[in-house]
Amino acid sequence: MAACGGKEDDTLTMATNAEFPPYEYYENDEIVGIDVEIATAIAEELGMKLEVEDMAFDSVIPAVSSGKADIGVAGMTVDPDRLESVNFSDTYADASQVIIVKEDSAIAGPADLEGKSIGVQLGTTGDTYSSENVKDAKVEQYSKGFEAVQALTQGKIDAVVIDSHTAKEFVKEAEGLKILDEAFTEEEYAIGIAKDNDELLEKVNKALKSLKESGKLDEIVAEYIKADAE
């Protein structure tokens, strides 16, 4: 692994959960997506080579804080709980959590989730917000987002709360589902970096600034989120 400034500082190790299209997912045997391309561009700015490690979403922050990975890039929202374990870079994407339901569902917005069974991906903000903010909700946690969508299709749960762009990918692939118009939350994604690695944090922020100013960041996002971008 490459700790920036160490002997092997030619490799930047990225911890992610490759179950989150269009941010990170498998195409054949390769992990691709918005986050992978952004991290690759950052690594290039730093004169490094990116290495991607796939793991469970709730293992990403522990991997970064323990030094097993240099950066955590997994469609992660900056929130107070995560800030206790890692620092975050400047944000690189705006996102929202949305609600997926069956097309004939009576659920029309966030208020209708009260007392319902909600499928979420374990450790995501959808998981946290549903557990903390929906009264009497029965929150069902899944290790992968598509497993929650599958359970919804099979009628095992009433709704799924997940990132808007990921929701579009899943709904495109599944029949009889729809995304509600009203967003569940609005949030921003950033890159997790170990608290004792201020040098890398500074370098990543500098690289992100350069990618934003050159238009490269927008190019990467537009490549994956085309006409249906919000």
Asked whether residue 7 carries a pLDDT value surpassing 90, the answer given is no
- Beta partners for residue 120, in sequence order: 141
Amino acid occupying residue 155: G
Classify burial at 213, counting beta carbons within 10 Å of its beta carbon; exposed 0-12, middle 13-18, buried 19 or more.
Answer: exposed
For residue 57, the 8-state DSSP code is: G
Which two structure tokens, joined as six digits, stand for 143? Answer: 């290790």
- pLDDT for the residue numbered 227: 40
Asked whether 207 and 42 are in contact (CB, 8 A), the reply is: yes
Asked whether 1 and 50 are in contact (CB, 8 A), the reply is: no
Asked whether residue 230 carries a pLDDT value surpassing 60, the answer given is no
Angle at CA 46, nearest 5°, toward 31 and 58? 40
Asked whether 10 and 48 are in contact (CB, 8 A), the reply is: yes
The residue with tokens 């929130």 is 79
Q: Give how far Cα 26 sits from Cα of 12, 21, 92, 191, Å.
A: 20, 9, 22, 20
Instruction: Summarize pLDDT for 77-131 with one digit per residue, the tens.
Output: 998 999 999 999 999 998 899 999 999 999 999 999 999 999 999 989 899 999 9
Which two structure tokens, joined as six digits, stand for 207? Answer: 């690289």
- How many angstroms separate the CA atoms of 1 and 18, rounded? 20
Q: Can you give the C-alpha Rg of the chain in angstroms?
A: 18
Which two structure tokens, joined as six digits, stand for 109? Answer: 């917005």
Instruction: Summarize pLDDT for 172-216 with one digit per residue, the tens.
Output: 989 999 999 999 999 999 999 999 999 999 999 999 999 999 999
